[in-house]
Structure 1
Amino acid sequence: MTRSRGNSLVQSIATHAPFGKNLDDELLGKLKRISVKHKQIDVHTGPEVKCKENKYSKYDRYVTDVDVKVGEYQTVINQAERINEQLALIVDKFCVISSETNDFTESTFGLFEKFRTLDELHRSITEYLSYFETLDPIVRNLHHFSSPNIVRKNSFKSKLSKIDESLQFLCEHEEFRDAEAYRIKFKQCMVRCCSLMATYLSNCLRSIYEEVIKSPEGISQSATRDALLYNKFSSIAIDFYSVSKELSSRYSNKHQQIYHDELGSILQDCYNEYFRIRMKLLSPLISGQLGNKEQQPKKLPLVKDIQDNLLFFTQLCEDEHSLIVKFFSEKESKKSFNEWLFRLCEPFHDHVREKVLQESDVASLCDAVTLLNKYYQFEENSEEYDAQFNSIQLDKIFEPLLQDVQYRLIFRAQIYVETSIIAYRPTKDAFSINYRKSGLSKIEKGDGIVRSFLDSISESSDEVEEMRSCYPPVTRAIALLSKIYQMVNSSIFDTLAHHIVHDCVESLKAAHRLVRGSEDNLDMNLCYLKNLLMLRKQVQNFDIQYVCNETYVDFSGLRDFLRSLAHGGLSAASNSVLSLAREGAPKVVNNMVDARSELSAELRNAIKELTEAAAHEVVGACLNNSEVLISDNTQLRKNVETVLPRIHNQMRIFIKDGEVRIHLIDAIQELVIRAYAEYYEDVTQQAENGKIAKEDVSEIMYVDVFADLFNNIASQLEKTDEKINNYDN
């Protein structure tokens, strides 16, 4: 029986194609025709039907396969739908479980946190209680410790570590109940332990001291001295250092800064005991070193004595430093060690102070300062200073020596100024060249300062001769300043230099007043100017601040009051008690003194006086008599041509600086030309008044002509100077 195709897949595709307009129109027509033919075949039977069936069997198989596939796909779809429904059900159940789990987690989170907190607290309680529970056993053990040797045992070190841990814990947890009380008790235990260590260290030092002093004769022998004082003494250094390091580490521990005073006191006691024993051992050695110098039949010079003792004490300080670093930590003991070295060297300070007080030679004192200045070449806290005095501060240890020598040098310099400059009494021949040379040779023999100064400039023979020809106080002042320059503090040197320059100028002025008005007045003025120029030239070589403060008490009011009282009463204006007290009270005067201004002012006065004297020699009496105009004018011309070169030659003898001579000649020229101009104006005025014949006035030189004459001669002198200087060079 032929099945109907009315509901077949082909019919469904043909009539309800999902592709719509995308299906090929030709294929759609063919499918419709096939459907009509199959309806007709259902009516007919016979061989024709079989033929038709064979013709469309390919399509039938296709349709059959399509139906099978559709069924299979439908089964897959149905299974997928069932799985999807099951998954949706599972998801819903999972969401319910997740929600319930979140609710459970939220409800149990607080309990979990509380549990965790309690668990941590439970674990920490044991740890925290251990810091408190160790107190009683430690206290009991410390009470039972009878010998300080216990500090060498590991049990003691363990207890000390527990004390440190407990103290640090209590400092970090001050909020605990009774934490402060426990901290105080643990601190007492720590102090007790440190005291035991300090006692042990002191006992070690005393025992080794007893062993060393058993052979007192050995200490005085240089061969065995080091073995006793250093090698044998350092035999306990390893055990000693292991204990002292425990003390030093706690003293420097930043967590134990609040116990700094207690620990520092205990550690300082250890230092003091060590220094006391070392001092007792070294005192005979130091006394022998200083005593041998004093017992020598020939007195050693100051510099030699200081040099020998410096070497000894420097080596002693270095040996002591090498020893102490074996016993104590260098960082903590550095300050105390250097302070002790200062005390150790105090006998040396006293010995040198005694020698210095007996020394009166300024040169020896200067040499001693030079010897000690090697410790003060660098500024404090500089890299070079730290490299030189990192461990042993020799500059601090030997500083009293330098101060004593400098104070003595200042004192002797002041005495030298008073005896050799202020007290110098010039004679009328003080500015004579021959007298100065002979006088200076005597000074050189008896004055070591001048002799050493001239020796220091002996390479320049001209400068030596120039210094020899100077006024003796000038030479002494320059020699003294050169000697003490950079030997004392700069401010002290400035003050000394000011007074030396002032006193030297005063001595020069006194000598100049004595010889003023002599026959060789020009020579005296030139010599005076030469000494002032030499003083200024030499003083400029020193870095001197000339201005200084002078403070003194003025009793002039009291003096006037006593004088008026002695002459029969008081003035009407001074009849009240307050006015008497105000007028008679001493006054403190602060005076600013400038030696540079004083020297410059005296130079100006000397130049003025010299140029006026020279101008007077050039002019002579040629400008005084108006009756013989022509002869006076002729004589004036001769004076300019003869006297001026003679004055210039005199200047060459005294003043070596060519520029200074040129300026002096210019000043003389200005004075002479000004005087001649006044003279010419006066003569012209008299001629106009008929007092002088105009014919005579017309014969004398005009001012410009006279100025040209003077200028030409001055230029010739200057050229002559240049030729002589070139020849000398």
Structure 2
Amino acid sequence: MSNSQELSNNGNLIFDWERPDDPSAPLSNSQRNFILDLGQEIKELGLLPNLDSEQDVSSDTSESRSTDAEGVPDKMNNVREFMEWYTVKEDEWYDREDLPYKNYLRQLANQKEECDGILSQVDECLKHLKDLTLEYQSVSNKTNALHQVSEELLADQVKLIAVWDAVGDRMKHFKSLDRFVQSLDNNSLNVHSTNLASALDELNDHIRYLQTHSKFRESFNYLSRYQQCQRRLLAMMRDAVASGLSLATLHASANTASHYAKFQVARHNLRPIIAMMEERVSHTELYEQMLAECHEAYVSERQTLIGPSVLKTMEGLVATNTSSGAVVDLCSLMRAACAFLIHVSLDEHKLYQQFFTVQTDTFDKYLETLCVSLYDVTRPLIIHMKHLESLAELCSILRLEMLQEQVSTNKEALSAFGGIAEQLLHDVQERLVFRAHMYLRTDVAEYKPSPGDLAYPEKLHLMQSIAQSMHDQEVSMLNRSESRASLTSLSSATSQDVSKPMNPPCQRALQPIYTVCGTHQCEGRCSVLVDCIGVLKGLHSKGYPRKRSHCA
């Protein structure tokens, strides 16, 4: 037998271990299933990627078998050689079986190397990140420091801006002077400027500021120059008001009511200027002074315009009520003159309120100047009046019709007229008391009775009989159905007629005093009555019967 045959026989002997029919080393079903499951697990795990199918396995097995068969020695002399050969083959078989694992292990090693590379890259990236973190922290610290410095700079900027504004606010009180002086010199700032009110307020602010901060350098000089500018501007406004009033007076005529319309037209141009001065009159005394001069200019123009006309009208009223040098009806003259002056006072007050809002003493004196013509015209007539009843009526006209009905309802407009009327009333009352005093002295104290005046008690009996006859006639005329009260009242009236004062001159002298002057003013005149009573007592002592009189 040749060596190839022996090797073939030995290989067949080994292959006979797994021979399907009557194998030399048979495997049980569980062992086979275990081998198949193990192969399946190896395939699923991909540990032997080259063993994709059973065909590949069988082909590899056949190839390995052929390879193993090729490696079978031709002759084995003893068991030791066989064992050595088997050991070598076993190692080869193990190596062949471990080849997928080795390949897998090799792949794992390759992947480990890749992972190591990735880890090294990750470590390098982490290092870079750490460096970036350190750099970021450094930049962040520098940024925070820059931010803090910026905030400090902004705070300093705000402080500097506040200081700048404060300095600007202080300096504007000094820098604005040249602008005001230039505006006043070139007449760009005048009474017709739209910014006149703001210019006045700005001047007031500058003056008030410099007065408050008088310790500033050059504050006194600037204050005096600002006050000079304010004085120039207010003088300009005052002159504008005065010229407007003069122009209205020039175009007006006091003989017609159109002069009120002329002044009302001038009011539309002058009222805004006057209102600016009135609104700021509490700021400085200069405003008050200029406004007072405007009042004086207004009063002067009105006095020039209607003063002579009022006096002429009053003289015309006197001439109308005078005949042959004597006053025909002083009461009618008084009513007409007072009504005229009341009308003028109301119109003047209404016109004044269209120009000014506050009534001053200057205007009151102006109205008093107009109304004093009433006193100047009527007082010479009053001091020559002797009629007691007319004087009493004049007192009633002045006290009731004028003071109580007119002046008390409009005190603001008629205060000047009320003062003149009250003064005139006092003069009329003094004249009335004087005339009553003279009348009592001449017609009572120095009265010389006639024999008929002293026919007492015959005259009393005669008067009583006349009264009784009149009473009987009136009673007979009454109806019997009338009440007893009517008869009683009739008898009392008759008795009152009988008991009338026995001295009519005394009643005529005292009744007006009590009526128009009042009891408190008549108490000072009681000496006259005492004198009269003394005269009556003297007559009685001489044998004349005593007269019953209310004056006693």
Common fold, TM-score beyond 0.5? yes
2:456 to 426, 432, 446: 432
1:316 to 344, 368, 373: 344
Q: Quick one: distance in 2 between partners of 1:509 and 1:426?
A: 14
Q: In structure 2, give the amino acid aligned to 1:243.
A: I
Counterparts of 1:324-473 in structure 2 under 5 Å? Answer: 324-326=352-354, 328-331=355-358, 333-374=359-400, 375-377=402-404, 388-393=410-415, 394-426=417-449, 430=454, 432-434=456-458, 460-468=493-501, 470=502, 472=503
Distance 1:156 1:330, change over 3 A: closer
Q: In structure 1, give the amino acid aligned to 2:203.
A: I
Shift, 1:319, TM fit: 1.3
Q: Which residue of 2 aligns with 1:160?
A: 200
The answer to whether structure 1 residue 307 and structure 2 residue 331 are counterparts is no
Greater Rg over alpha carbons, structure? 2
Q: Quick one: distance in 1 between partners of 2:333 and 2:462?
A: 37
Q: Deviations over 1:35-84 (max 9, x none)?
A: xxxxxxxxxxxxxxxxxxxxxxxxxxxxxxxxxxxxxxxxxxxxxxxxxx
The runs of 5 or more residues in structure 2 that have no matched partner are 1-147, 464-491
Q: In structure 2, give the amino acid aligned to 1:406.
A: Q
Q: In structure 2, give the amino acid aligned to 1:248.
A: E
The answer to whether structure 1 residue 477 and structure 2 residue 506 are counterparts is yes
- Out of 415-424 and 425-434, give the one that drifted further: 425-434
Q: Quick one: distance in 2 between partners of 1:145 and 1:238?
A: 23
Q: Deviations over 1:519-572 (max 9, x none)?
A: xxxxx4xx46x44xx446xxxxxxxxxxxxxxxxxxxxxxxxxxxxxxxxxxxx
Q: Quick one: distance in 1 between partners of 2:461 and 2:374?
A: 45
Q: Is the 8 A contact 1:341 1:397 kept in 2?
A: no
Q: Quick one: distance in 1 between partners of 2:385 and 2:233?
A: 56
Q: Quick one: distance in 2 between partners of 1:431 and 1:507?
A: 19
Q: In structure 1, give the amino acid aligned to 2:303.
A: M
Q: In structure 2, give the amino acid aligned to 1:125.
A: V
Which SS does the other structure have where 1:358 is aligned? coil
Counterparts of 1:201-240 in structure 2 under 5 Å? Answer: 201-213=241-253, 220=255, 225-226=256-257, 228-240=258-270
Q: Deviations over 1:671-714 (max 9, x none)?
A: xxxxxxxxxxxxxxxxxxxxxxxxxxxxxxxxxxxxxxxxxxxx
Counterparts of 1:672-711 in structure 2 under 5 Å? Answer: none
Q: In structure 2, give the amino acid aligned to 1:291.
A: G
Shift, 1:392, TM fit: 3.3
Shift, 1:281, TM fit: 2.4
Which SS does the other structure have where 2:386 is aligned? coil
Distance 1:350 1:437, change over 3 A: farther
The runs of 5 or more residues in structure 1 that have no matched partner are 1-103, 214-218, 379-383, 440-458, 517-523, 537-729
Q: Quick one: distance in 2 between partners of 1:140 and 1:151?
A: 16
Q: Quick one: distance in 1 between partners of 2:158 and 2:195?
A: 37
Shift, 1:130, TM fit: 1.3
Q: Deviations over 1:592-628 (max 9, x none)?
A: xxxxxxxxxxxxxxxxxxxxxxxxxxxxxxxxxxxxx
1:277 to 301, 304, 308: 301
Q: Which residue of 2 aligns with 1:20?
A: none
Shift, 1:295, TM fit: 4.3
Q: Quick one: distance in 1 between partners of 2:214 and 2:156?
A: 25
Q: Deviations over 1:252-302 (max 9, x none)?
A: x2x33xx2xx43333232222222222232223540353244145644311
Q: Is the 8 A contact 2:210 2:219 kept in 1?
A: yes
Q: Is the 8 A contact 2:314 2:377 kept in 1?
A: no
Counterparts of 1:252-271 in structure 2 under 5 Å? Answer: 253=282, 255-256=283-284, 259=285, 262-271=286-295
Q: Deviations over 1:621-657 (max 9, x none)?
A: xxxxxxxxxxxxxxxxxxxxxxxxxxxxxxxxxxxxx
Q: Which residue of 2 aligns with 1:188?
A: 228
Q: Deviations over 1:462-510 (max 9, x none)?
A: 3343224x2x3xx4334433211253376542111x2133112211211
Q: In structure 1, give the amino acid aligned to 2:516.
A: M
Distance 1:287 1:513, change over 3 A: same
Q: In structure 2, give the amino acid aligned to 1:126.
A: G
Q: Quick one: distance in 1 between partners of 2:523 and 2:274?
A: 51
Distance 1:305 1:387, change over 3 A: closer
Q: Quick one: distance in 1 between partners of 2:350 and 2:278?
A: 18
Q: Which residue of 1 aligns with 2:209?
A: 169
The answer to whether structure 1 residue 494 and structure 2 residue 523 are counterparts is yes
The answer to whether structure 1 residue 504 and structure 2 residue 544 are counterparts is no
Which SS does the other structure have where 1:360 is aligned? coil
Counterparts of 1:714-729 in structure 2 under 5 Å? Answer: none
2:173 to 131, 140, 143: 131
Larger relative contact order (CA 8 Å, sep ≥ 6): 2
Distance 1:320 1:314, change over 3 A: same
Distance 1:460 1:184, change over 3 A: farther
Q: Which residue of 2 aligns with 1:244?
A: 274
Q: Quick one: distance in 2 between partners of 1:348 and 1:244?
A: 32
The answer to whether structure 1 residue 150 and structure 2 residue 190 are counterparts is yes
Counterparts of 1:71-150 in structure 2 under 5 Å? Answer: 120-145=162-187, 150=190
Distance 1:395 1:189, change over 3 A: same
Q: Quick one: distance in 2 between partners of 1:404 and 1:437?
A: 45
Q: Which residue of 1 aligns with 2:5?
A: none
Shift, 1:141, TM fit: 2.8
Q: Deviations over 1:306-356 (max 9, x none)?
A: 001111111111111221222x2221x343222211101222221111221
Q: In structure 1, give the amino acid aligned to 2:426.
A: Q
TM-score (norm 2): 0.59
Distance 1:377 1:295, change over 3 A: closer
Q: Quick one: distance in 1 between partners of 2:462 and 2:353?
A: 65
- Cα-Cα RMSD: 3.6
Q: Quick one: distance in 1 between partners of 2:457 and 2:353?
A: 69
Q: Quick one: distance in 2 between partners of 1:423 and 1:114?
A: 109
Shift, 1:203, TM fit: 1.0
Q: Is the 8 A contact 2:436 2:510 kept in 1?
A: no
Q: Quick one: distance in 1 between partners of 2:407 and 2:250?
A: 40
Q: In structure 2, give the amino acid aligned to 1:288.
A: T
Q: In structure 2, give the amino acid aligned to 1:274.
A: Y
Q: Deviations over 1:420-447 (max 9, x none)?
A: 22222457864724568999xxxxxxxx
Distance 1:353 1:535, change over 3 A: closer
Q: In structure 2, give the amino acid aligned to 1:196.
A: M
Q: Quick one: distance in 2 between partners of 1:199 and 1:479?
A: 62
Counterparts of 1:34-49 in structure 2 under 5 Å? Answer: none
Q: Quick one: distance in 1 between partners of 2:413 and 2:532?
A: 48
Shift, 1:134, TM fit: 1.5
Which SS does the other structure have where 2:206 is aligned? helix
Q: Is the 8 A contact 1:413 1:480 kept in 2?
A: yes
Distance 1:289 1:350, change over 3 A: closer
Which SS does the other structure have where 2:383 is aligned? helix
Q: Quick one: distance in 1 between partners of 2:356 and 2:305?
A: 22
Q: Quick one: distance in 2 between partners of 1:436 and 1:179?
A: 100
Q: Which residue of 1 aligns with 2:541?
A: 513
